Structure 1
Amino acid sequence: MKIIVTDTPSQAFEQAADMIAAEIRASSTPVLGLATGRTMESIYRILVRQHEAGTLDFSSTTSFNLDEYAGLPATDPNSYHRYMHERLFAHVNMPARGIHVPDGVAPDLDAECAGYENAIRTANGIGLQLLGIGETGHIGFNEPPSAFDSRTRVVKLDAITRRQNSSMFDNDPEQVPSHALTMGVGTILEARRLLLVAVGAGKADIIDKALNGPVSEAISATAVRLHDNATIILDKASSAVWAKNRA
């Protein structure tokens, strides 16, 4: 596991975007695992800027998003379909057939999850999986406890997660859907490379638990330490507690 600590959040975003861009350029058929959240918005802006400058071509790229809220159609302003379209897909030349986001209103959500797993296998697996980390230590929506061999499935969201995500729902956690579809920890760990990005003092305590604490299904982000090709990019604020306890 490689841990990179930058002086500023913007430097962390630039390094993460450069790693994703390098993954796209290195393969004739790149397959990305993508994430959502405020941290990712800055990374996607950089990738869009590189594409608009003519230095990054998405035309042969396939993508799989980590998760989607159950019950929200793709057109809902708070869906991750909409998030990805507005922040990345509408601005780059990734073919529509290569874009995959779980369908939160599929008639059979279990079948949707099984089909998602099959689509990843058909694409020969994910080359680089981008990750954030939630307040409960979750990657994707793998709330505690999540088995390290778990697959794409429907999960119930923790009250902490619903509160954390409520800013997009009029700051009302009750408006945040109670369930979501998410790649499992086992699915994530099968990606050939992992890239976890976290910035800001608000992530310092959970980053310390994820990197210094015991590897445990109670904090799904600790599973990243089991991967043989994982990179963690932090800024000084998010790394502060980890750095202090590591010393």
Structure 2
Amino acid sequence: MKKALTGPDIRELVSEWQYLLGCRLEQFGRPNSNELILKFRSSRTGTVRLVVDFSGWVYVTKASISTESNQGVFVNSVRKRIKKSRLESISQLNGDRILCLEFIKGAESHTLIFEMFHKGNAILCSDKKIKTVMRQQKFRHRSLKPGLEYQAPPGFNPFESDFSKFSEVISGSERSIGASLTIDCNLGGEISNLVCHRLEIDVSTKVEQSKFQSIYDQVQAILADKIRPSIFLDNEG
């Protein structure tokens, strides 16, 4: 069973959600410590809600979900800056599990960034500077706290990297090929397993450099394939 969205999943969702551009942010809430809800409205879409669940899921729904919040400073700061703003763009950052929403209100522009890994986080920026952050965090390569410039985590973008970069990442990894594709190449477990299955490669082993090209070609073929949702029914429907 799928445990969380991957980078390729978020890429597909971002493509599907472009119809939300132009909507106004009516309300923003944090009903619990691990969930955020953005309530959008426009004459074209009606009322829709973007639910960000930091256990690894993001989805859009027309269900009536409350945006009431008792989570304090972060929510109030976000509401003050972007409530009633227009949604200008939705994008993915670096092919990673990072969702970026840009809002415009008058001459002001803010970007709300959702990081869907580790414990999850939400960061509100303006002119690349962090204005407020849901969880202040410090990592080896960056820190997330107000006043600092936002820096995305270093990583591999599977949608834009060429074979040379791919080979460099795989050959430099100490992980098995399955784990390297999943983590180092930012593909997630499903695509990693599919690549290895198609090429009849044991996911738990290291691979010879002579196989890198066929692995890269298979990854690119899978990423280029349009994901189509399906429902499978058993004999009982």
When you count strand as a share of all residues, which structure comes out higher? Answer: 2
Higher helix share: 1
Q: Same fold (TM over 0.5)?
A: no
The one of the two structures with greater contact order (alpha-carbon pairs below 8 A, sep at least 6) is 1
Q: TM-score, normalised by structure 2?
A: 0.29
Return the TM-score normalized by structure 1: 0.28
